[in-house]
């Protein structure tokens, strides 16, 4: 019969495991709750390989591609949009500071976070006619397709059997 190398006074009688296993489960639970909380300041940003990335929607018509990104609380001046070949990059930084001073106390809160999201476009676009607008925390980028991209599109009729 194998004996545990963990001293008895470290055991957690409630779960039958050791104190460290119990602590590990509790820390996991706290982090799971933190990430599921929609009220934290950067909730519209998701984590992508350790970096914050804005949530985006991409739609495509015959004439254009439209990308919308949720950037609540971000200042328009802090947003950088670039297109390199067929890679569209949205990056920026969220900065928020609030200060409240009362008779006996002072509260100063800061929220900072940089974000970046790069996506490959499905076709060639007309670089000269790209339009980006930012309103109410939503960035909308309209990318008109190039003439060659439009010409390559072929409609295929689907027939029922």
* Arithmetic mean of pLDDT over the chain: 79
**Domain 45-151 part of CATH 2.70.70.10:** no
Six-digit token string for 102: 């009362």
Q: Which value, to the nearest 10 degrees, does the dihedral of the CA atoms of residues 38, 49, 64, 93 take?
A: 60
| Segment 109-118, tens digit of pLDDT | 877 788 889 9
pLDDT at 141: 96
Phi first, then psi: what are they for 20, rounded to 5°? -70, -35
Question: What is the helix (H) or strand (E) element at residue 157, kind and residue range?
Answer: none
What ranges make up the beta strands (E) of 12-121?
45-48, 51-54, 56-60, 64-70, 79-84, 87-101, 106-120
Domain boundaries of the chain, sorted by first residue = 45-151
Higher-confidence residue of 54 and 121: namely 121
- CA-CA distance, 47 to 70, in Å (whole number)? 14
pLDDT at 44: 52
Average pLDDT over residues 79-96: 90
Q: Is 75 helix (H, G, I), strand (E, B) or coil?
A: coil
155 Rama class: left (phi>0) / alpha (psi -120 to 50) / beta: beta
| Segment 12-61, tens digit of pLDDT | 555 555 667 777 788 877 777 655 544 444 445 555 555 677 889 999 98
Note the pTM of the prediction, 2 decimals.
0.60
């Amino acid at each position: 019969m194998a004996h545990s190398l963990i001293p008895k006074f470290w055991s957690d009688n409630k779960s039958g495991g050791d104190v460290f296993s119990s602590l590990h489960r509790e820390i996991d639970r706290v982090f799971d709750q933190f990430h599921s909380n929609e009220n934290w300041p950067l909730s519209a940003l998701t984590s992508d390989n350790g970096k914050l990335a804005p949530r985006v929607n991409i739609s495509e018509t015959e004439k254009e591609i439209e990308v919308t990104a949720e950037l609540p609380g971000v200042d328009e001046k802090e947003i950088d949009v670039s297109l390199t070949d067929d890679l569209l990059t949205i990056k920026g930084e969220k900065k928020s500071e609030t200060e409240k001073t009362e008779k006996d106390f002072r509260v100063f809160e800061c929220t900072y976070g940089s974000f970046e999201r790069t996506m490959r476009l499905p076709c060639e676009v007309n670089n000269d006619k790209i339009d980006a607008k930012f309103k109410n925390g939503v960035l909308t980028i309209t990318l008109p397709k190039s003439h060659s991209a439009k010409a390559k599109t072929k409609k295929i009729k689907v027939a029922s059997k």
